[in-house]
Structure 1
Amino acid sequence: MDFILYLFVLLLTGALVGFASGLLGVGGGFIMVPIQFFLLTSLGVDPTTAIRVAFGTSLAVILPTAISGALGHARRGAVLFRPMILMGISGLISSLIGGTIAANTPGIYLKIIFGILVLISGIWMLIAKYPEISGEPKKGVLSYIIIGFITGLLSGLLGVGGGVVLVPILVILMGFSMIRAVGTSTAVIIFTSLGGIIAYTANGFNVAGLPPFSIGYINLIQFAVLAIISVPMAQIGVKASHKLPEKQLRYIFILVMFYIAFKMIGVFSWIGLPL
């Protein structure tokens, strides 16, 4: 692949990731992972190594992007701090576990699991009956710790911030408005991505076949190009999320999830669509 095209694809991906992070409360890993994976394999990197590098680098980009988005949402009162802290600490611990598991799992399984997870989350958001939002979200220390643990485990395991799972849970089960779910999810992702970064860095040392300029399973070139545009774009996404109607924001979230799920599972390849 031509290096200029390679950089252009990464910059475009970073812009989409930053915007999606601010707009939808997701880390953007479900956009970055498949694109990084396809770029790395096109450069000749082994698929199992490529998917792990895609996961690790994705989490490295997610951290500063999530910080940018969370600050924007917090200024607008959309981050609930007590649930965020409970879910964040729990998620940091479990993302360490998830990243370690992923570093020792064949890439083909990780790719398919990633797609299935995103698909299930999208279907759930589409068919679920949404509660009438009145007053404050549900309380419960244990509930938020468990939710954070599940989110962090999936984050580390699949190289995503966890928002694709966390946002539906907060809206459907915990009574969050969509905008509060997006804001709080963005803040929790700071913790889950940090745990995953540690796991992918530690487990990737001295692994053969890594692309140049990698620290463990984190590639510094892809990180720098993606992050330089995703961080400022997160602020634009935040502004857009506070202007869109709740229902419209939810359907955008679902549509993006379906596309990424089908891409990673391989549905478009099976039916011969060049998407």
Structure 2
Amino acid sequence: MNEIIQSWPIIVTLIGTGMLAGLLAGLFGVGGGIVIVPALYFLLQNFGVSASSAMTIATATSLATIVPTAISTIRAHYTKGNVNLPLVKYWSGFILLFSVLGSMAAQELRGNALTIMFGVIALLVSLNMFFRANASSMFFQLPSKIGQGFLASLVGFLSVMIGIGGGTIGVPLLTAFNVKTHIAVGTAAVFGLLIALPGVITLLIIGSTPADAPFGTFGLVNLPSFFIIIPLTMLFSPIGAALGAKLNQKQLKRAFSIVLFITSFRMLLLAIGA
């Protein structure tokens, strides 16, 4: 009974994380990992997990949650014709390869290095959302095949290392090259699956569970967090999409970008000071 009482703050926080991740994924087309990773990072430290272990567990657990969510999202977008299949076909090999390489590289880095990577990328994402909300495309079309291969490799490598799906980097990247937003969101959902599935399998196989990992951690994935967050992200993602069609996207993006900026800046300060 005492264990249940002591666990309720964790459960409530995880429920809130799943709901928020689903809503934001539906509202903006960003991967839920941009919310799940910092939430787990701070939460785990409040219960005796070191900052380094907290980041590696948060990253792997976030990737695990992305797999079923991405499958659900892909089905919804595919039926609406929002997936650019030729682009997926060409980019998939690069993303798969560099997702595996990124997962292996993440094992060689200290958790603080991953935290710094996440903080920097999240800062850039927040600045892009704030200053380029509803902005026009930077380029008229996608680059050459070689350029696209480089971009796909970058998306796979960076995303898997910090536990985010394809939407966080993929959507702003594709829209910058004049891909329509709804197509970018649907296509990036496929990227998310291609990133998360090989990434989480690699981390489950080669990842060693930290000594201070919380109960239920297998490899680097915390299963209780996974099972609490997953149904909520899948439930609230379509709600977020419905809200996004009614609310002012520009104001919402700027509000979220401010919260994301503060969160990522705090993570950077903690990592640099560690």
Equivalent residue in structure 2 for 1:143, among 147, 165, 184: 147
Residue 33 of structure 2 contacts residue 164 of structure 2 at CA under 8 Å; is this kept in 1?
yes
Asked whether 1:179 is paired with 2:182, we answer yes
Q: Which position in structure 2 is the counterpart of 1:224?
A: 227
Runs of 4+ with >6 A deviation: none
With structure 1 as the length reference, what TM-score do the two structures score? 0.85
Asked whether 1:12 is paired with 2:12, we answer no
Residues 147-166 of structure 1 mapped to structure 2, 5 A cutoff: 147-166=151-170
RMSD over aligned Cα, in angstroms? 2.7
Q: Which position in structure 1 is the counterpart of 2:136?
A: 130
Q: Deviations over 1:16-71 (max 9, x none)?
A: 11122222222211211111111211111222111101000000001111222222
Asked whether 1:234 is paired with 2:257, we answer no
Percent identical among aligned pairs is 31
With structure 2 as the length reference, what TM-score do the two structures score? 0.85
Equivalent residue in structure 1 for 2:199, among 177, 196, 199: 196
Q: Which position in structure 1 is the counterpart of 2:108?
A: 104
SS in 2 for 1:18: helix
Amino acid in the other structure paired with 1:41: Q
SS in 1 for 2:89: helix
Structure 1, unmatched stretches of 5+, are 271-275
Superposed displacement of residue 207, structure 1 = 4.7
Distance change >3 Å, CA 175–CA 253, structure 1 → 2 = farther
SS in 2 for 1:103: helix
Amino acid in the other structure paired with 1:170: L
Q: How many equivalent pairs are there?
A: 265
Distance 2:8 2:96 in 1: 36
Distance change >3 Å, CA 56–CA 42, structure 1 → 2 = same
Equivalent residue in structure 1 for 2:120, among 112, 116, 121: 116
Q: Comparing 8-17 with 82-91, which one deviates more in the overlay?
A: 82-91
Distance change >3 Å, CA 126–CA 150, structure 1 → 2 = same
Superposed displacement of residue 108, structure 1 = 1.6
